[in-house]
Amino acid sequence: MQKYLFIVLLSSLALGCGSGTKNGNAEDKRVLTVTIEPQRYFLDQIVGDAFTVNTLVPPGTSPETYEPAPSVMIDMGKSDIYFMVGGLGFENAWSKRLTENNPDVTIVNCSEGIDLMEGHGHNHDHAHGHHDQADGHGHAHSHGAMDPHVWSSPLAVKIFIRNMLGAVVKADPDNEEIFRTGFDEFSVKIDRTDSLIRNLLVNIPSKSFIIYHPALGYFARDYGLYQYSVEFEGKSPSPSQIKELVDIARKEKINTVFIQRGFDTKNAAVIAQEIGAEVFEIDPLRYEWDEELLRIATILARETDE
Ligand SMILES: [Zn+2]
């Protein structure tokens, strides 16, 4: 710190008095780091331009398999706060390492307080009726980490952004008024988005849909829909799993198959063709979070020729 001050003093001396000392505040701005783009969108609504917000996972990349380059740790160390989604891919390992290297960085698990669902591999359960006999201690769940895709739910996002608000107010109490105003305005926008989605999904042709990667579980929970994922426990499906999915799709008259950039599309296309459904590419990692949710609801609500 002292060294930094010294350099600042030196450079203002060199420039003489006056204009030289006022650099654009881009360099001085404090930094927040997030895992995915929707989180940057949320923070932008709350903090305005009080902070610079950096996103770790680049566009078109799966956060489940993404491994940040070692140099990323250095940038993360310069942030005031790292906002993890909570339990997504590299997040736990990286936040632990971040704490070890940079104890000054505050780590916030944005999913804290959200009622989490069981994750990958359990999406077919309600079609089966019962679990295989476990040994009495729930080992049938050993592979079932919690589903991290909470941001597909407007209701969950309201809790999510409350966690964000608390952390930024703590980091920058002088701007609390501004942050609270941004938060309130965004909350209203979320409510509006939620009711628009609800209206769109009244009387849709099928309450079920197929998706390659199960990114819409919380969206489905909010709106009484069923998500069937092609991917099984993070892996490509076996032929028998594909057959099972095709049978369910016929029974439930599924006409929508979602795919996502950064994930396999071939198996989804095969299934779509088999059941005569349409394939749509969606982007649950898009910055314009509310627009994308509305787009997904509009796809589900479209007229089909049945
Ligand atoms: Zn995912």
Q: 104-117: per-residue pLDDT in tens?
A: 999 999 999 999 99
- Residue 250 is part of which domain span? 203-288
Residue 271 domain-assigned (yes or no): yes
- Give Cβ neighbours of residue 194 (< 8 Å, ≥ 6 apart): 154, 155, 222
d(CA 157, CA 69): 29
Q: pLDDT, tens digit, for every residue of 183-196? A: 999 999 999 999 99
d(CA 292, CA 282): 8
Q: Which pLDDT band, with edges at 50, 70 and 90, does 305 fall under?
A: low
Q: What per-residue confidence (pLDDT) applies to 120?
A: 62
- The owner of tokens 């491994």 is 67
Cα 219 to ligand 1 centroid, rounded to whole Å: 13
Residues 155 and 219 in one domain: no
Cα 148 to ligand 1 centroid, rounded to whole Å: 7
Cα 52 to ligand 1 centroid, rounded to whole Å: 25
Residues 259 and 281 in one domain: yes
- How many Cα atoms are found within 13 Å in the side-chain-facing hemisphere of 264? 15
Cα 61 to ligand 1 centroid, rounded to whole Å: 10
d(CA 58, CA 61): 6
Cα 254 to ligand 1 centroid, rounded to whole Å: 22
Q: What per-residue confidence (pLDDT) applies to 6?
A: 43
d(CA 77, CA 135): 44
Cα 213 to ligand 1 centroid, rounded to whole Å: 6
Cα 25 to ligand 1 centroid, rounded to whole Å: 35
Provide the CA 256 distance to its chain's centre, in angstroms: 22
Q: What per-residue confidence (pLDDT) applies to 70?
A: 87
Cα 24 to ligand 1 centroid, rounded to whole Å: 38
**Best CA proximity match to 91, nearest among 104, 119, 110:** 110
**Stated pTM of the model:** 0.84
Cα 150 to ligand 1 centroid, rounded to whole Å: 10
d(CA 32, CA 288): 19
Residues 229 and 118 in one domain: no
Q: Which pLDDT band, with edges at 50, 70 and 90, does 60 fall under?
A: confident
> Residue 58's CB: how many other CB atoms inside 10 A?
12
Cα 139 to ligand 1 centroid, rounded to whole Å: 23
Provide the CA 230 distance to its chain's centre, in angstroms: 19
Q: What are the strands of the beta sheet with 106-109, ordered from one edge?
A: 51-55, 30-34, 81-84, 106-109
Q: pLDDT, tens digit, for every residue of 206-245? A: 999 999 999 999 999 999 999 999 998 888 999 999 999 9
Residue 171 domain-assigned (yes or no): yes
Which residues partner with 228 through β-bridges?
210
Residues 73 and 47 in one domain: yes
Cα 131 to ligand 1 centroid, rounded to whole Å: 24
- Contact at 8 Å (CB) between 79 and 98? no
Residues 44 and 182 in one domain: yes
Q: Name the 3-class secondary structure at 153.
A: coil
CATH of the domain at 113: 3.40.50.1980
Residues 64 and 91 in one domain: yes
Cα 302 to ligand 1 centroid, rounded to whole Å: 25
Cα 216 to ligand 1 centroid, rounded to whole Å: 9
How many domains are there within the chain? 2
Residues 174 and 244 in one domain: no
Residues 163 and 279 in one domain: no
DSSP H or E segment with residue 84 = strand 81-84
Residue 265 domain-assigned (yes or no): yes
Q: What per-residue confidence (pLDDT) applies to 262?
A: 81
Quick one: average pLDDT of 255-266? 92
Least confident of 2-16, 68-82, 166-180, 243-257: 2-16
Which residues partner with 279 through β-bridges?
257
Residues 182 and 213 in one domain: no
Residues 125 and 231 in one domain: no
Residue 13 domain-assigned (yes or no): no
Last residue of some domain: 193, 212, 234?
A: 193
Residues 237, 296, 158, 285, Cα dihedral to 10°:
60
Residue 23 domain-assigned (yes or no): no
The residue type of 88 is L
Q: What is the largest CA-CA distance in the chain?
A: 79
Cα 138 to ligand 1 centroid, rounded to whole Å: 24
